[in-house]
Structure 1
Amino acid sequence: MESPITSWPKNEQPREKLRLHGARCLSDAELLAIFLRVGVKGKNAVTLAQDLIHYFGSLPRLLASTAEEFIQIHGVGLSKWTQIQAAYELVKRSLEDGLAQKSIFSSPEHVKEFLQSKIGRLPHEVFLCLYLDSSLHLIECQELFRGSITHTTVYPREILKEALARNASALIVAHNHPSGNPLPSNADQELTRTLIHALQWVDISLLDHYIVSNSGFFSFSESGLMNVD
């Protein structure tokens, strides 16, 4: 039987440790344990959190889990899943709000962090459009197309229509590769060329096309693939 967290030295208990030293000093399991609050018979909340992370393979995969997957673990239920999902959604909304407050290029890493949290670990392909105003502030991030684990059908005409409806001056598009390989396919490259040409007709710039996976990013702009004749 493990000792309950309340019997630990005060400065080693996750909540007190966070209060004294800040959230960055806590391990993934300790942070998760704060949301779990209690463990199960024979396991305190930290050990239960460690078991959850081990079961899913990583913290990001746990956060992307469905309710059905999550409640397969003994000792956790729908209530705990909804609490964790609510906290995760707050993080994503905070990142998105940050992009709306300043130029998209003032923090490229912020953009990548946002996209990673949004689509990086989804089990199916999703195509996002980030509509930008003339100051390159985010107007809206829209999930425009959704597909299978290997393929998403994208219609450039719909992208133009949605960009014009928002009076966007520029656009960033992004999609994920659930396979884990962020390198672009020939179809990805052809789509990018098509979008650049199509958007030029309505005086909207395509600034970048990101491919996101659980293991990294690919930027068409950083790779010099946005320059087409």
Structure 2
Amino acid sequence: MPQTNKKIWNCDLDPECKARKYGMEALTDAELLALLIRCGTKEKNALEVAKEILGDQEGFYGLMESNRSSLTAIDGIGQAKASLLLAVRTIVIRASQQKRGPRLVMNNAHRVAEFFMEQLRYLKKEQVVLCLLDNKCRYMGQVVLAEGTCNTATISPREVYIEALMHRACGIILLHNHPSGDPTPSSEDRTVTTMCALAGENLGIPLMDHIVIGDLTYFSFKEQGLI
């Protein structure tokens, strides 16, 4: 009888099979990402595309910084897959925030910085966020006020307090990120803080703090006695 060659299937080379057999913890970063993107291109399978993504983005940390245009520039990542990856990033951020509770009391800078850290620390451009508080200093929600360049995002007290009044906030906290990772406030940051604090006093909606988010670090105007 003629001998036939049979291709031997190795489950360990298939991320989905490997996950079922050993659990998600056994998968490499590329294998986890391959499970999400599912398929590759004519030239590359999903695992090869995943390795390319992680190489281009410098791992999951870089992937958290990615935007739609940088993702779709990668061969094998179209609009649908980019949306999926961005959705996963947003889920991670929201899960981190929801873990702390929807009515979290925002009465100290460390707690506020921790709440917003994953949302802001990866951004490559400055973003200004308004945190809305009720009369017991509890989190009501947030509004993105401005998005700028890699080193500046401009707002005015008028923009800040239009949103605060519209949402019936009793107090507010301003936050913005420094993409450099260094949260040291600029002279413009200090000026805006002073102007917003004064406007808040006049309107009866106090600026409780202005927090600058760096890379796993922060600067609080309140902690430094500047508010």
| TM-score bracket, shorter-length normalisation | 0.7 to 0.9
Q: Distance in 2 between matches of 1:40 and 1:47?
A: 9
Q: Does 1:225 align with 2:224?
A: yes
Identity of aligned residues (%): 26
Aligned counterparts, 1:156-195, within 5 A: 156-195=157-196
For normalisation by structure 2, the TM-score amounts to 0.77
Q: Check 1:227–1:79 CA distance in 2 against 1; reply closer, same or farther (3 A cut).
A: closer
Q: Distance in 2 between matches of 1:15 and 1:94?
A: 27
1:3 match: none
Cα distance, 1:24 vs. partner?
A: 5.9
Q: Check 1:162–1:18 CA distance in 2 against 1; reply closer, same or farther (3 A cut).
A: farther
Q: Check 1:210–1:37 CA distance in 2 against 1; reply closer, same or farther (3 A cut).
A: same
Is there any run of 5+ residues in structure 2 with no aligned partner, and where? 1-8
Q: Distance in 1 between matches of 2:186 and 2:41?
A: 47
Q: Check 1:165–1:7 CA distance in 2 against 1; reply closer, same or farther (3 A cut).
A: same
Q: Check 1:202–1:107 CA distance in 2 against 1; reply closer, same or farther (3 A cut).
A: closer
Cα distance, 1:88 vs. partner?
A: 2.0
Cα distance, 1:175 vs. partner?
A: 1.0
Q: Check 1:41–1:151 CA distance in 2 against 1; reply closer, same or farther (3 A cut).
A: same
2:54 match: 53
Q: Check 1:43–1:123 CA distance in 2 against 1; reply closer, same or farther (3 A cut).
A: same
1:216 match: 216
2:6 match: none
SS in 2 for 1:123: coil
- Asked whether the 8 Å contact 1:170–1:205 carries over to 2, the reply is yes
Give the length in aligned residue pairs: 218
1:8 match: 11
- Asked whether the 8 Å contact 1:133–1:170 carries over to 2, the reply is yes
Q: Check 1:48–1:162 CA distance in 2 against 1; reply closer, same or farther (3 A cut).
A: same
Is there any run of 5+ residues in structure 1 with no aligned partner, and where? 1-5
- The partner residue of 1:104 within 94, 106, 116 is 106
Q: Radius of gyration: which is bigger?
A: 2
- The one-letter amino acid of 1:216's match is L
Cα distance, 1:43 vs. partner?
A: 5.3
Aligned counterparts, 1:1-150, within 5 A: 7-9=10-12, 13=15, 17=19, 21=23, 26-40=27-41, 44-97=45-98, 98-105=100-107, 108=110, 111-150=112-151
- The one-letter amino acid of 1:204's match is I
- The one-letter amino acid of 1:90's match is I
- Asked whether the 8 Å contact 2:109–2:220 carries over to 1, the reply is no
Cα distance, 1:122 vs. partner?
A: 2.6
Cα distance, 1:26 vs. partner?
A: 4.8
Cα distance, 1:85 vs. partner?
A: 1.5
Cα distance, 1:144 vs. partner?
A: 1.1
Q: Check 1:34–1:183 CA distance in 2 against 1; reply closer, same or farther (3 A cut).
A: same
For normalisation by structure 1, the TM-score amounts to 0.76
SS in 2 for 1:100: coil
Q: Distance in 1 between matches of 2:177 and 2:15?
A: 38
